[in-house]
Chains A and B, each alone.
Chain A
Amino acid sequence: MTDFSIKLSAYLDGELNPVDTKEVEDRLSNDPEAQAEMDALMAADALALEQFDQQLAAPIPMALAKTIKSAPIDRPVRSIASVWGSIAAGLVLFVLGGTGGFMIKDQISPPTTIASAGWLQDISEYHAVYASQGRHLVEVGADEADHIQTWLGNTVGAEFTIPDLSQFGLTFEGGRLLVANAKPVAQLMYRDASGTVIALCLQSRTNQPTPNADFNQTTLNGFDLVSWAANGVNYVVVGPDGRSDLTDIANFAANEV
Chain B
Amino acid sequence: MTTSDQFKADMISLLPRLGRFALSLTRSKPDADDLLQDACSTALSKWTQYDPAHPMDRWMFRIIRNTWISEIRKRKVRVGQGQVPADETDELRVENTADDTILAKQVQGKVANLPAELSQPLMLVCAEGYSYQEVSDLLDVPIGTVMSRIHRARKTLAAAFSQEEYATR
Query: Which positions in A face B, CB cutoff 8 Å?
Result: 1, 5-6, 8-10, 13, 15, 40-41, 43-45, 47-49, 51-53, 55-56, 58, 60-61, 64-65, 67-69, 71, 73-77, 114, 125-126, 128-129, 136, 139, 176-179, 221
Contact = CB atoms under 8 A, between A and B. Distances in A.
A1 B6 contact: no
A15 B1 contact: no
B150 A73 contact: no
A61 B126 contact: no
Given A8-B151, A44-B154, A176-B13, A55 B109 contact: no
B115 interface: no
Contact of A126 (B9, B125, B131): B9
Given A44-B158, A52-B126, A64-B40, 19 more contacts: A9-B147, A13-B132, A15-B132, A45-B154, A47-B157, A49-B127, A52-B123, A55-B20, A60-B15, A61-B15, A64-B15, A64-B36, A64-B37, A68-B8, A68-B12, A73-B7, A125-B9, A126-B9, A179-B13
Contact of A43 (B8, B11, B13, B158): B158
Contacts of A45: 126, 154
Contact of B11 (A1, A9, A68): A68
A68 B18 CA distance: 14
Most chain B C-beta atoms within 10 Å of own C-beta, residue among A40, A51, A60: A51
B13 A6 contact: no
Contacts of B3: 76
Contacts of A5: 151, 155
A129 B162 CA distance: 46
Contacts of B48: 74-77
Interface string B40-77: 10001101100000010000000000000000000000
Contacts of B132: 10, 13, 15
A251 B81 CA distance: 71
A40 B23 CA distance: 26
A15 B19 CA distance: 27
B90 to A, nearest CB: 18
Contacts of A221: 1
**6 A-B pairs with the lowest CB-CB distances in the bound complex, closest first:** A9-B151, A52-B127, A44-B157, A44-B158, A125-B1, A40-B158
Contact of A177 (B16, B154, B162): B16
12 contacts: A1-B151, A9-B147, A15-B147, A40-B158, A41-B154, A44-B158, A47-B157, A60-B16, A69-B9, A74-B45, A136-B55, A178-B12
B107 to A, nearest CB: 11
A205 B6 CA distance: 25
B116 interface: no
B16 A58 contact: yes
A178 B16 CA distance: 11
A56 B151 contact: no
A47 B12 contact: no
A192 B110 CA distance: 40
A68 B36 CA distance: 11
Given A1-B155, A178-B13, A51 B47 contact: no
Contacts of A139: 13, 17
A6 B127 contact: no
Interface string B143-155: 0000110111111
Nearest to A14: B131
B2 interface: yes
Most chain B C-beta atoms within 10 Å of own C-beta, residue among A8, A43, A73: A73
Nearest to A136: B55
Most chain B C-beta atoms within 10 Å of own C-beta, residue among A15, A53, A176: A15
